[in-house]
Chains A and B, each alone.
Chain A
Amino acid sequence: MAAGLAYRTGFEVTFVRLAIVVATLFTGGFAAVAYVVAWLVMPAIGTDTTIWSQARTDRRGITLAGGLASVLFFLTFITQLLGSGLLATVEWPLILCPAFLVLIWRNAPASEQARMRHLAEPLLGLTTDNRWSRAWPRVTFSFVLLIAGTVILVDGHKSIKMLAPLGGAMLVLAAVALLLGPWWLGIARDLVEERRARIRAEERADMAARVHDSVLQTLAMIQRRADQPQQVVQLARAQERELRSWLFDGRAPGSLDGEDMTFAGGVRRIQQEVEAQHGVAVEAVTVGDCELTEDLGALLAAAREATVNAVKWSGADVVSLFAEVEPEAVSLYVRDRGRGFDPSAVPGDRKGLAESIHARMARRGGSATVRSAPGEGTEVSLTMPRSGERQPSRA
Chain B
Amino acid sequence: MTAPSRPRVVIVDDHGLFRSGVRSELGGQVEVVGEADDVQPAISMIAERLPDVVLLDVHLPGGGGQMVVTALRAAVPEVRFLALSASDAPEDVIAVVRAGARGYVTKTISGTDLVDAIRRVAAGDAVFSPRLAGFVLDAFAAMPEASQDRPLFDPELDQLTTREREVLRLIARGYTYKEIARELTISIRTVETHVSSVLRKLQLSTRHQLTRWAAERRLT
Contact of A288 among B133, B141, B175 (CB under 8 A): B141
Number of residues of chain B lying within 8 A (CB) of chain A = 19
Contact of B87 among A244, A286, A326 (CB under 8 A): A244
Please determine whether A286 and B173 come into contact, CB atoms closer than 8 angstroms.
no
Please determine whether B108 and A237 come into contact, CB atoms closer than 8 angstroms.
yes
Report if B142 contacts A (CB, 8 A).
Answer: yes
How far is A240 from B106 in the complex, measured between Cα atoms in Å? 12
How far is A320 from B176 in the complex, measured between Cα atoms in Å? 12
Q: Mark A15-37, 1 if CB is under 8 A from B, else 0.
A: 00000000000000000000000
With both beta carbons as reference points, the residue of chain B lying nearest to A337 in the complex is identified as B174
Nearest-neighbour CB distance to chain A for B22, whole angstroms, equals 16
Please determine whether B173 and A379 come into contact, CB atoms closer than 8 angstroms.
yes
Please determine whether A287 and B138 come into contact, CB atoms closer than 8 angstroms.
yes
Q: Mark A207-243, 1 if CB is under 8 A from B, else 0.
A: 0000000000000000000000000000001001001
Please determine whether B174 and A320 come into contact, CB atoms closer than 8 angstroms.
yes
Nearest-neighbour CB distance to chain A for B165, whole angstroms, equals 10
Please determine whether A285 and B87 come into contact, CB atoms closer than 8 angstroms.
no
Report if A263 contacts B (CB, 8 A).
Answer: no
Contact of A322 among B86, B134, B142, B220 (CB under 8 A): B134
Nearest-neighbour CB distance to chain B for A71, whole angstroms, equals 46
Report if B78 contacts A (CB, 8 A).
Answer: no
Please determine whether B134 and A287 come into contact, CB atoms closer than 8 angstroms.
yes
Report if A335 contacts B (CB, 8 A).
Answer: yes
Please determine whether A285 and B131 come into contact, CB atoms closer than 8 angstroms.
yes
A247 and B87 in contact, given A285-B130, A322-B130 (Cβ under 8 angstroms): yes
How far is A395 from B131 in the complex, measured between Cα atoms in Å? 16
Determine which residue in A287, A333, A395 has the highest number of CB atoms from chain B within 10 A of its CB, and name it: A287
Please determine whether B174 and A240 come into contact, CB atoms closer than 8 angstroms.
no
How far is A326 from B169 in the complex, measured between Cα atoms in Å? 13
Please determine whether A322 and B141 come into contact, CB atoms closer than 8 angstroms.
no
With both beta carbons as reference points, the residue of chain B lying nearest to A394 in the complex is identified as B142
Please determine whether B172 and A285 come into contact, CB atoms closer than 8 angstroms.
yes
A283 and B173 in contact, given A244-B87, A288-B138, A395-B220 (Cβ under 8 angstroms): no
Chain B residues whose CB sits within 8 angstroms of the CB of A132 once the complex forms: none
Determine which residue in B87, B134, B173, B220 has the highest number of CB atoms from chain A within 10 A of its CB, and name it: B173
16 pairs, CB–CB < 8 Å, chain A vs chain B? A240-B108, A243-B87, A247-B87, A283-B130, A283-B174, A285-B172, A286-B134, A320-B130, A322-B169, A326-B141, A333-B173, A335-B174, A379-B173, A394-B138, A394-B141, A394-B142
What 6 A-B pairs have minimum CB-CB distances, sorted nearest first? A320-B174, A285-B134, A322-B173, A287-B137, A322-B172, A333-B173
